[in-house]
Amino acid sequence: MSTLQYFWDLASINTEARNKAAVSLIKALYQFQEQYQEDNKDNWDEYLKDTSVERLETLCSPDVLYALKRLIRGLPSSRDSARQGFSVALTELLSMLSFITISDVLALLEKATETSNGMKAQEEKEMLFGKLFGVASIIQSGIIEHPNTTEEELKKMFEYLLMCSNKKSYLKESSFKIIILLFSQIKKINNKNILNHIIEEILKDGVNTPEELAFTIKAQELYPKYDYSKVINWKHTNILHSSNSSKLCTILKESSYTHPHIHFVWNIIFDKLFNSNEKDMITLQDLWLTVVDECLFNSTYERKYLGFSLFKIILPKLSTEKIPFIFAPNFMRSLINNLSINKTYLHKLALQLIQDLIKIASEDSTVAIALIAQLTGKHGNQNFDKITKTKTIDSIIATLNIDGIKSYIDYLRNIFLDQDSFESDTKKVEAHRTWVVDQLVSIIKNQKIPKNDEIYLSIFEFLFVNGFCVVEKESKKAFSENLKVLPKPEDSEKIQELCRSRFLTVLGESLNSPSLNTSEEIVAPSTQFLQIIDKLSTAKNIKFLVELDKEAKAAKANAKNTLNTISKKLSATTDKEEIMQLKAFESLLVHLAILIHSDTEEAIANIDDIVNCYIRIFPAETKKSKKNAKVEEEEANPIEVLVDVLLSFLLKPSLLLRNLTEKVFKAFCGKLTKNAITLIINVLNPEESANIIEENDDEDNMDVDKEEDGDIIMEDGDDDDDDDLDIEDDDNDEEVDEELRRKIQAVLQKKDPNNADNLDEEEEELSDLNDDEMLDFDEKLAEIFKQRKIIKNSRRDSKQQILHFKFKVLEMLDIFIKKQSTNVLVLELVMPLLHLVKQLYGSHDQQQLYERVQSLLKNRLLKIKDYPKNDDVNTKELFELLEEVNKFAEKCNEPELCNLAGEVSIFIVKVILGNNIKKEKESNSKKSSKKSDSSDSSSSSNNNTLPNYDEKVIKKLSKFYGELLEKFMTKNHTNLRPGQFTMIIQRYPMVAWEFVDIIVEYLSPKPLPNSNAIKVFQLSQAYRFLEILFNTLSKQDEEKYLKKVKSIIPKINAAQAEVCEAYQQTIQVKDDKKDNSERKITKISQQRLKDISKSLNNISKKVKKMMKDDTTFVIDTTEINSLRSAKK
């Protein structure tokens, strides 16, 4: 059995392969040695007595001796992982050979690693490493414990190691690791002479390096009886005594020379501090603060790197109670700085550290909360994620379970309530409380965080209590944690307003959250919120900031009574649509009952409207009198009233009301009437939306210019701008100047009532003012201009409010189109949206609105698959709509709008055809209806059978487009675009074949009236239309339209001849570059001729394919091709 292959595998980079080779080699060598000893058992005792240098020749089998020498020779090798593999195998081999001595191995090692003066640096380095690995193998093999081990052998090994340490600085750390290993082995045999010798040699100059410090710590641990006062000249002999902290700091900061590797001294120190209870020894906290935080984090980036690396080591070992001390000031400063600036050397390491924090937090919720407390606490920053541009806090919170989230909420509540123990500065108190409130809201918003009803309700209650109430006294018996403790100091008005605002945010988020109650009777979050408010109203130790008056209480009672009725109806019905609508009413009333505490007047009015709507949509099952029925008929439709209320919600800058509107509208969009749709569309009109905002904006009155002393009063002038309240300064210059003149007169009148009527003498009047009066006058003027700016900003805000309002209304329309695509009322949106697109086109200020409206029309309405297709669809009205769209296109000067109108026309054609499919054959009716859904993309090139459309409708459409084509071909100035015809030809060729004769008629070049000129563009487009039509022909269509094709071929050939003739004719035209001169041009340009010939060639190929062997009907393009290729 050969062992040579094992030696190659010992140098493998793969650890598993190395270990496997070592095991196999040792097994084989063990068998060889066993066999050898068995063969020489008679002489074995004599072999053991041999002390000569050649004793191994007789004691070892040839294979073992070869392996021993080769393994030692391989230790200096730098090939791959040879040192590691060979040293492992050597260690095992030495432990296997009980007769081998240290001297035997050292002799072989010295021979294999001998150095000389002529060696290169690399060769010397390899030899020194070979010595280190060889001595390490001797120590780890355990042969030191053999009884025949001498002190000289031990000293020689130590000298080898000390020589390596002193020889090269990069070997110092490795050498001392092995020295400590040797020291611990010698301690096992308790050879005090050698132990003393090692200590005295290493510490003869004291403890000055990290390696000497590491050795001293281990020596004092392993050999405490030695008198270290002889070699240690520190304040205390115990090297880790608290009084030695300054010395430790000096030495340990030098350990960074091994960067990026962590010096082994740190592991020895941490093991000692974590596992020892010695008195007066420096604590881990003191070591961290004095050495790591104050020393390393205030030094070079290599030492900061070491500090971060030590943090990664120590954090997992700390208990929750000890975590705070490692988040020391300098560490936190360095962490935040290196996270926030991605170009720093330590940025990547800081990010890795954050990932470690998140991982540790995911394992223990208590640790997670402790980490958050430190990152956002005294030495951190409450906006940690923001300033570091990370999601650290959010990610840690996301790792929390339900219990962890509850603990985190308690932690936040304590910070909010007890600010006296944190800050005395009012601004800092408000900043901390603002952060707490934002954190609570982020828990609700973050979908990754687990939440249950208790968490939702706890946060909701906290915000309501601190936003709408005042806790007057502490009560340990209170039913809620939020009522047991008074906030210290009291909440400021700013914080109360913030809590009210965030309260509405939480309320809005609850609309999009799943049910929070896990019981069988599912209760919506908002309903539970209302129950909490009712319960709070019974608490004796709180006071509401605004008490509800009788009217408000009556409205709230009305809402709650209606909610009870809805609850009963919900339990009795099984209809899904009705359940959705009832829940929408329930949600509306619950939220209004809650909002009555924040916007009382608005909520009262809306509650009344919503209750009336509910009563009329879901009337009680009682007989109606004729009088009541007549009254109901005279009243507005309840759906229209509901839509009006929803629109008023959208006027408010509230996410809650927006979400509420969306939820309710989705439930009732199927019940919308034409008037309701008109109501929604009308508010998109700039004048109408401006009026609505003006009527509803009671809270934002423009009386911002009223002074306390009443001297200056500015009124908000009417804005008559029609272009979406786009106010330009230049438009109102005269009006503003007059207003300014009036105000200046008011100021002068106050100073001198007799001389303030004539501003033409302004210089004389101002010259009479003394310095104080002039200063006062300047202040008044400054105030006037300041208030002018306020008015201007208010108008700008109003304009922005209108824009946002329109976006929200468009979202309602988007919902309607998406949910009710088959409703005939979607067709009512076509023309209003088209007109709105035209109105917004080119407006720089409203570019976003234009894009949104265009997208709604083009990408939502025109792309619906399930379009209106029922008895409510009136074909006659659809044709009127089609005609209206094309009239719109004729009046548009912008090509983009004309093309959009063309797409709308195609959509209407799709609806017309889809509602006029013959149902003669019952077996084909279902297939036809399915195919009609995608008929907008159908063409003759599609081999599937087309739906059997009504021929009368096809002819009516062809007549419409034929007349439209005539306008395009004959009118001198038309806004119609070719795209409007190419779309109908490509998508509905069956319509185009009905007016193909009109296309062919205009293939001939016809001169304009009173002129020899030809409408060349229209001419080339006629050929292009015909080419597209022929390209749509499928095999089935070829047979269907073969007769029609044969009838138009002669006309095409005749028209081609006329084109060739016209191309060769010239006409006189005026030369714009030269005055009073004329030049000759051809009636048809060469480029247009190329376009025409290209279309004719394609048509000719298609005809030839259709006619097959029939040469009677051929389109000969020889002449036009020759003219095309000829150079003019």
pLDDT tens track for 33-78: 999 999 888 888 888 888 777 888 889 999 999 999 999 999 998 8
Single-letter amino acid, residue 869: K
Task: Single out the residue in 252, 274, 296 at which a domain terminates.
Answer: 274
Return all residues near 947 (Cβ < 8 A) that are at least 6 apart: 913, 917, 928, 929, 931, 932, 935
Mean pLDDT of 508-518: 60
In a domain, 886, yes or no: yes
| Residue 4 sits in the same domain as residue 130 | yes
Question: Poorest-confidence range of 42-56, 621-635, 1017-1031?
Answer: 621-635
Q: What is the mean pLDDT of residues 302-306?
A: 93
Question: What is the number of domains present in the chain?
Answer: 6
pLDDT value at position 714?
33
Cβ within 8 Å of residue 303, ≥6 positions away: 253, 256, 295, 296, 297
Q: Over 90: is that where the pLDDT of 765 sits?
A: no
pLDDT at 507 over 90: no
Residue 626 lies in a domain: no
The pLDDT, as a whole number, for residue 265 is 95
pLDDT tens digits for range 332-388: 999 999 999 988 999 999 999 999 999 999 998 889 999 998 998 888 888 899 999
**CA–CA–CA angle 383, 384, 386 (5° rounding):** 65
pLDDT for residue 892 is more than 90:
no
* Buried/exposed code over 233-263 (b: 16+ C-beta within 10 A; e: otherwise): ebeeebbbbbebbebbbebbbebbbbeeebb
Q: Is residue 858 part of a domain?
A: yes
Q: How confident is the model at residue 1039 (pLDDT cuts 50, 70, 90)?
A: confident
- pLDDT tens digits for 7-23? 888 989 999 999 999 99
Q: Both 384 and 437 in a single domain?
A: no
Strand partners, 241: 281
| Residues 995-1013, mean pLDDT to the nearest whole number | 80
CB of 286 within 8 A of CB of 275? no
Q: Is residue 102 part of a domain?
A: yes
C-alpha–C-alpha distance, residues 177 and 263, integer Å: 10
On whether both 135 and 9 belong to a single domain, the answer is yes
Residue 708 lies in a domain: no
161 in the same domain as 136:
no
Tokens of 473: 């006294």
pLDDT value at 1070 more than 80: no
d(CA 664, CA 530) in angstroms, rounded, equals 19
Q: What would the pLDDT profile of 564-582 be if each residue is shown by its tens digit?
A: 998 888 888 888 888 888 8
Q: What is the mean pLDDT of the chain?
A: 82
Residues 267 and 379 in one domain: no
Domain carrying residue 316: 283-399
- The answer on 141 and 62 residing in a single domain is yes
| Cβ-Cβ contacts under 8 Å for 113 (sequence gap 6 or more) | 75, 76, 127, 128, 130, 131, 134
Positive or negative CA dihedral for 283, 284, 290, 291?
positive
Instruction: Specify whether 145 is located in the same domain as 171.
Output: no
Note the pLDDT tens digit of each residue in 530-542.
Answer: 888 888 888 888 8
Residue the block writes with tokens 């009504």: 950
Is the pLDDT confidence value at 927 over 90?
A: no
pLDDT at residue 52 in the model: 79
- The C-alpha atoms of residue 626 and residue 637 are separated, in whole angstroms, by 18
**Residue 489, preceding bond cis, omega within 30 degrees?**
yes
| Least confidently predicted of 429-443, 931-945, 1065-1079, 1096-1110 | 931-945
What pLDDT is recorded for position 745? 60
In this structure, are 360 and 339 located in the same domain?
A: yes
**Any idea how long the chain is?**
1128
The letter for the amino acid at 1082 is: T
The pLDDT assigned to 634 comes to: 52
Peptide bond into 450 cis (omega under 30): no
| pLDDT for the residue 79 | 86
Q: Residue 814 domain-assigned?
A: no
Per-residue exposure over 340-355, b if at least 16 CB sit within 10 Å of its own CB, e if not: beeebebeebbbebbe
- Is 838 in the same domain as 956? yes
Which residues make Cβ contacts (< 8 Å) with residue 783, sequence separation at least 6?
707, 712
The neighbouring-strand residues paired with 949 are: 917
- Full-model pTM: 0.68
Q: What are phi and psi of 1068, to 5 degrees?
A: -90, 130
pLDDT at 505 over 80: yes
14 within some domain: yes
Q: Select the more confidently predicted residue: 926 or 1091.
A: 1091
545, 579, 604 - which closes a domain: 545
Overall average pLDDT of the 674-703 stretch: 65
pLDDT in tens, 102-120: 999 999 999 999 888 888 9
pLDDT digits (tens, 9 = 90+) for 693-745: 555 554 444 333 333 333 333 333 333 333 333 434 444 444 445 555 565 56
Q: Look at residue 1009 in the predicted model and tell me its pLDDT.
A: 61
Lowest mean pLDDT among 281-285, 311-315, 710-714, 781-785: 710-714
Which pLDDT tens digit goes with each residue over 379-425? 888 889 999 999 999 899 988 889 999 999 998 998 888 876 666 67
1092 and 1026 both lie in a single domain: yes
Among candidate residues 521, 545, 569, the one where a domain is terminated: 545
Phi, psi (degrees; rounded to nearest 5) at 1025: -60, -45
Do the domain assignments include residue 636?
A: no
Indicate if 1121 and 1010 belong to the same structural domain.
Answer: yes
What pLDDT score does 670 carry?
87
Q: What is the pLDDT of residues 1074-1087, one digit of tens each?
A: 555 555 556 788 88
- pLDDT per residue over 965-989, tens digit each? 998 888 877 888 898 899 999 999 9
For residues 1040 and 1105, membership in a common domain is answered with: yes
